[in-house]
């Protein structure tokens, strides 16, 4: 009989920069698998639809520095700046960080994104020393603001946003601090549900802590940490090579936020991007002064917004860890809409202005490297939060509707996505099943359908917007919106057209009159006679529309995405009137010959207030309200 052979885990024994590639790959994959597991733990154990169904949260692992080691299926606006939050926790509790601790905070003036995002972080110890942080960030449905939402465009300062939590110990050496937990929940609506979400976040980071301890025990702590250095270094080197392949130079652009929640419109965001070899600098100097309402960036969102576009310009195979993030330096003037000064409200910071801050980087870079840069995408328009008190007046309910989200912009070779949500998420969030929403909340979704011709026309189409109608069933429905890109729609690129912009209104079914409302506002919908209707924007188009494949245009018309009129006028494709239309080849060739003579701009629009949607929709007797307040 052959002697039994004991299988041992490969270890790296070489000094310096000599790394075993197999061990490197295995440890890198283990980190990703751990974050994937903590992501699924949170999804399956969360209590509210905003986390369990819509996936408005992120999970990540940091080393003790802290540097981002791994994230999985996360929201870029969270993870591209989450290391700042972890650093704040580590500095606030230096010398008092122990095994079994869990920290919580949401303060946007202490390195967090905005008050709605609750950061939970657990230190991970091995061989008696702090080696990692296990971290989640979850967007909670309520923060105790003056109106029932955690995203309040009309908050005049941080105090109206609800409870602000500096870095605090929520769990101390494995024991929940019940006094702190009770104090927190006493300040929140939907306390039972949010307690469930916070316990889910704790469970997620505890699972990661367990797995990280197992990893260190299996390979040895020093070996794991040495490979962490190489994982980050590998990403840094590859990102540097990608940046070096981009054309050196300085590029500028500007864009506009619809409104600030208090009637100030078309707020300007300006960017200057400099590429110099392997480094990138993004500067938002010159942007408009900070808004009166919640449409202001925090330091964390400004850092993330400037860096994120360069994460998707590069090879998707490069791990998105600290090695990439550190190569993009971002600056903004304090006191501007991009980086507000205390105590200004930053309640909407993760979406307004940060979505536009990403979008203006795309505007700046598209002509320099069109093969890498997409057209403009939806910026969180038509994502309202609904709330009510129940038929008995004592059963509060509330949820955010993601099903009416706008669409993503096209890129060279690809049409944009529908139901993309916005730049902050980049497709990382989910649309809630309508059946579950109607089971959980006293509403009915009357319709949810594609809005014809909402796309940005181009050789590649922006994703289509959609129409969603929501009817309250048992009580008056408070509706709180906090969006953008309605009057200032997603831009087209390289000859592509702008998205539709879209909008929202409340229709009185007894009179037929409609109250149109700007992209930010707070208003009520009567359950006895009214319905909320949101019409989301399509994404921007990429490339000249007359160069789109004619057969694909025919299919777009057949599928109800593009109208026959637009097919002929914009794309130059003339079709029969059949339900499954046929291309008139001679008429199409003639029309496309005419369109080929028309020069189209690199970026469109270039001026504020460019969407014609509202003007085209208004009928006699309809009204329009800019930033209404309850």
pLDDT tens, position by position, 37-91: 999 999 999 999 999 999 999 999 999 999 999 998 899 999 999 999 999 999 9
pLDDT at residue 6 tops 50: no
CA gap 205, 209 in Å, rounded: 6
Q: Which of 209, 238, 267 lies at the terminal end of a domain, its last residue?
A: 238
CA distances from 611 to 524, 599, 608 (A): 26, 21, 9
What is the average pLDDT across 134-142? 97
423 phi-psi bin (left φ>0, alpha ψ -120 to 50, beta other): alpha
CB atoms within 10 A of CB 589: 12
* Tokens of residue 101, six digits: 């601790």
- CB proximity list for 316: less than 8 A, separation 6 or greater: none
Question: In this predicted model, what pLDDT tens digit does every residue of 155-191 receive, in sequence order?
Answer: 999 999 999 999 999 999 999 999 999 999 999 999 9
pLDDT tens per residue, range 97-118: 999 999 999 999 999 999 999 9
Q: What is the per-residue pLDDT for 17?
A: 62
User: 134 φ, ψ to 5°?
Assistant: -100, 125
pTM confidence score: 0.94
Whether 295 is in a domain gets the answer no
The reply to whether 171 and 190 lie within a common domain is yes
Q: Which residue has the higher pLDDT, 423 or 573?
A: 573
For residue 587, give its domain range: 545-599
Considering the chain, what percentage of its residues have pLDDT values greater than 70?
97
Query: By three-state DSSP, how is residue 540 classified?
Result: coil
Say if residue 537 is in the same domain as residue 588. no
Same domain, 570 and 451: no
pLDDT (mean) for 492-514: 97
Cα–Cα dist 91/372, whole Å: 38
H-helix or E-strand containing 39? helix 21-45
pLDDT at 72: 87
Model confidence at 15: pLDDT above 60: no
Is 615 a domain residue?
A: yes
Domain end: 191, 221, 238, which one?
238
Same domain, 505 and 414: yes
Q: What is the reported pLDDT for 400?
A: 94
Q: Are residues 568 and 440 in the same domain?
A: no
What pLDDT score does 561 carry? Answer: 98
Query: Is residue 14's pLDDT more than 50?
Result: no
Q: What pLDDT is attached to residue 45?
A: 97
Which is nearest to 610 in space by CA: 482, 457, 498? 498
Helical axes 191-219 vs 21-45, angle rounded to 10°: 160
In a domain, 338, yes or no: no
Q: Are strands 514-517 and 466-472 parallel, antiparallel or unpaired?
A: unpaired
Q: What is the pLDDT of residue 467?
A: 97
Average pLDDT, the chain: 95
Give the number of domains in the chain: 3
């Amino acid at each position: 009989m052959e002697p039994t052979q004991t299988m041992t885990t490969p270890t790296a024994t070489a000094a310096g920069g000599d790394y075993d590639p197999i061990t490197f790959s295995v440890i890198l994959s283990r980190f990703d698998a751990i974050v994937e597991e903590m992501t699924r733990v949170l999804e399956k154990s969360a209590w509210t639809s905003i986390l369990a169904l819509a996936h408005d949260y992120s999970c990540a692992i940091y080393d003790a520095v802290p540097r981002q080691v791994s994230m999985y299926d996360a929201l870029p606006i969270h993870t591209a700046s989450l290391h700042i939050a972890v650093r704040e926790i580590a500095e606030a509790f230096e010398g008092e960080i122990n095994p079994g601790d869990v920290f919580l905070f949401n303060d946007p003036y202490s390195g967090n994104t905005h008050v709605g995002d609750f950061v939970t972080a657990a230190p991970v110890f091995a061989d008696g020393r702090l080696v990692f942080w296990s971290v989640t960030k979850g967007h909670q449905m309520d923060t105790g603001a003056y109106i029932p939402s955690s995203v309040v465009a009309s908050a005049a300062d941080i105090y109206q946003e609800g409870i602000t939590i500096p870095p605090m110990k929520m769990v101390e050496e494995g024991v929940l601090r019940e006094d702190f937990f009770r104090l927190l929940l006493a300040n929140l609506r939907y306390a039972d549900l949010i307690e469930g979400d916070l316990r889910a976040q704790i469970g997620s980071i505890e699972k990661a802590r367990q797995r990280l301890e197992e990893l260190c025990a299996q390979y040895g702590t020093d070996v794991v940490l040495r490979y962490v250095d190489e994982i980050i270094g590998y990403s840094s080197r590859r990102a540097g090579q990608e940046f070096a392949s981009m054309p050196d130079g300085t590029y500028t652009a500007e864009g506009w936020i619809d409104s600030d929640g208090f009637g100030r419109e078309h707020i300007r965001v300006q960017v200057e991007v400099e590429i110099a070899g392997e480094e990138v600098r993004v500067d938002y100097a010159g942007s408009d002064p900070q808004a009166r309402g919640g449409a202001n960036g925090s330091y964390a969102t400004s850092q993330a917004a400037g860096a994120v576009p360069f994460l998707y310009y590069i090879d998707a195979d490069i791990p998105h860890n600290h090695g990439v993030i550190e190569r993009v330096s971002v600056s903004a003037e304090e006191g501007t809409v991009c980086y507000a000064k205390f105590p200004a409200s930053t309640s909407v910071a993760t979406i307004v202005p940060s979505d536009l801050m990403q979008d203006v980087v795309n505007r700046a870079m598209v002509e320099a490297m069109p093969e890498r840069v997409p057209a403009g995408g939806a910026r969180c328009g038509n994502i309202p939060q609904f709330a009510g008190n129940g038929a008995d007046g004592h059963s509060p309910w509330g949820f955010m509707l993601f099903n009416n989200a706008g669409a993503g912009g096209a890129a060279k070779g690809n049409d944009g996505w529908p139901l993309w949500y916005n730049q902050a998420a980049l497709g990382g969030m989910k649309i809630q099943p309508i059946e579950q929403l109607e089971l959980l909340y006293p509403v009915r979704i009357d319709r949810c359908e594609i809005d014809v011709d909402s796309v940005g026309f181009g050789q590649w189409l922006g994703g289509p917007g959609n129409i969603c109608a929501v009817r309250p069933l048992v009580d008056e429905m408070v509706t709180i919106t906090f969006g953008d890109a309605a009057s200032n729609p997603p831009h087209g690129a390289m000859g592509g057209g702008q998205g539709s912009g879209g909008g929202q209104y409340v229709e009185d079914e007894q009179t037929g009159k409609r109250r149109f409302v700007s992209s930010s506002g707070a208003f009520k919908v009567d359950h006895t006679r009214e319905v909320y209707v949101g019409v989301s924007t399509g994404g921007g188009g990429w490339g000249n529309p007359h160069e789109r494949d004619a057969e694909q245009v025919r299919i777009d018309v057949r599928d109800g995405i593009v109208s026959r009129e637009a097919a002929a006028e914009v794309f130059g494709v003339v079709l029969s009137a059949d339900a499954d239309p046929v291309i008139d080849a001679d008429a199409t060739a003639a029309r496309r010959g005419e369109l080929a003579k028309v020069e189209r701009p690199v970026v469109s629009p270039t001026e504020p207030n460019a969407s014609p949607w509202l003007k085209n929709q208004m009928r006699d007797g309809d009204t329009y309200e800019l930033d209404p307040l309850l």
